[in-house]
Structure 1
Amino acid sequence: MKFKATFSSVGVQWLERFAPIFDKLGKELSVLFTPNSIHLVQNHAESGGIEIHADLLKDEVFDACLLQSANDNKIGVRLEPASLCRVLRGLVGSEATHVEVKLIKREVAPGTSLPFLCFDSKGVVDVVQDVPLAGPLNRREVEDLETIVQANVVDVPYWLCLDRAATEAAHAAVERFRAVGDVVELATTKAGSLHLTTNKGGHVALGAELRGAGVLPASEDRYESSRAGGGGAWDGGTGRGTGTQPGLEDESAGPCERLAESKACGEASVANVGTRTLRRSLSGVASNPSRALVGVAGHGRHVELVFRYDRQAVRGPDAVGLMVRMPVEEDDELERWEEDSD
């Protein structure tokens, strides 16, 4: 088993963006090296209830890489994210111009050797730093990591595409929710709106509506398709007489009315998510994404959140991503929460 690589001009900076997020979420982080990519992964037990992984193309992070193993040239390790953060901050702070990393075994006591990731940097000051490891992981453990990585971005009928300002606004809203309720109703609409509401004692106490988001795929964007269809009143068989077409929101209505209309027309996807879970999921805002995609899975069992970095990546918009899968609250959990709120 061999691993040795030379960082690209942006490789250290990418890892330094993501490592603090994982450090905030938990005390253990898995790193998976494959012939084409690098993945930083935390499962729901390690992160406090969510599945989260940063995915980077190998060529975005490394200029050169030697990777060999009996497991299809894949190597997985576990480490403390705090240790990785310290090393990466040191590399950025020392303005290292050349950084190599390799998997080594170092003798820590007579007859005892343990694995480390060794970072050898040259710059204003030449420094060698080690990050202790657990592993390398066996084949089954590597497969478990791959299952988490490959599970995202499936079974979601449509996505809302939030720009940076909207993503930060959603994060700020959920931060306020923590003092009000333990559960957030998250709703996306095909008219491009994200609704976040929490309540206490059965009444809506605090909410946020973010409008004007793009809808992906475009075929699900009811605002665009309705606008392309021309004007005209719409009854829709509801008898409401709103004077809007399907998918076009009534500008004269309030957020609650607009959401109720979308639900009644089958144009909304709704999930109840723990406030703490949603807060942890939105911690990816700290990585300075260009935008975020949010979608409710078709079977309603989880919500997907994808942070995108677009032109920030040297190798193209798909070179870097941060994926989050958050579970929804079960009905019995909601009933207990509502009883406690009464």
Structure 2
Amino acid sequence: MIKHHTVKRKTNNISNFLNFFIWNIVFFSFIPFASTKDSPIVNEKYDSSRDLYDSILNVIFPIFFVILLNVSGKPGSIKNVALPLLDDVLHNVISWVIPLIISFVYDRRMMAIMIYSTLNMCLHVICALAAILFWKRVVDIEKYKIFSTITLFLIFFSTIVTPAFWIFTTHNRKNTIGIPLTITFIILFGICLATFILVVIISLLSHYFQRVNEKMNVDKIVFTLCIICFYVPNILQTLLILAIWPVNYYFVKACVFILLIALTRNVSYFIDKIPENFLATSTSVTQCSIRAFTKNDIHEIFKESQISAEEMRQKQETMQSKIDEMQSKMNEMKSSMDKIKNDQPKDESV
């Protein structure tokens, strides 16, 4: 019986292998017929450069952030230095590098944009270099006036100068840009300006009327409006440039990719506490100040630095030595108490 099942199983294996082999021959025999001149598989006119560029950007994005967000979290680690520097680079690229590129690409017709980009560049580069050369941590920004000055300059430029300039530019170029697009961006940039004015008014009112602040939860409203009036103008600026002066496919893809990374990094400043050992760059200081604007204490937005494994081990050893010392003292006290108890009957008999 066992022999019969063994022979049957071997026969089934051989037949399955033959069936697999035959079906593969039949399948691959159709490939030459499919690749004839009438219906070719290979498209010789296809240019893969654009799709390849797009795919590389899509692959780099998650890899890039997995590497950055999983580096060591120890004080002074690469994470606490590299991420603020990255934020500075991304903010500068969106603020003035992209407008400056199109001002050179589209010759003298873009003189106003070139002047705006150059002034923007000077302001941002000076602020960035001043903060980096100072080389402090975000937890210390209250101690130095230079950081409050940097914050005021960057917020003023992003919330007032950028919307006002692009409203003026789109209005003057409505014949070349198109009326619908002009009206859309003028309205959006106008909302940004109105939001900034609204933040100032609400802040002043909430300062003088504390009861109104408590009832209406003004802090959350101001917090939301601050985010809108600081971040939205640069986003609209990038979208306006890509809609009107796209340069080429690769420029558009690169700008969208940079904008996506910048927005992802900006969100991180508001969804979690910021490490105390974060490097105080112009961008990180500004974003910390925006988040702390509705807080009574700026230190509420920071989290304590993570201690290293060596420091943890030393603390454990110190605690263990103290526990051992306490146990030894307790044992001495217990032995002395026992001795007193043993000696007490003798003294009474005497």
Bigger RCO of structures 1 and 2 (CA < 8 A, at least 6 apart): 2
Same fold (TM over 0.5): no
Larger Rg belongs to: 2
- Normalised to the residue count of structure 2, the TM-score between the two structures is 0.26
Structure (1/2) with the larger strand percentage: 1
- Normalised to the residue count of structure 1, the TM-score between the two structures is 0.26
Structure (1/2) with the larger helix percentage: 2
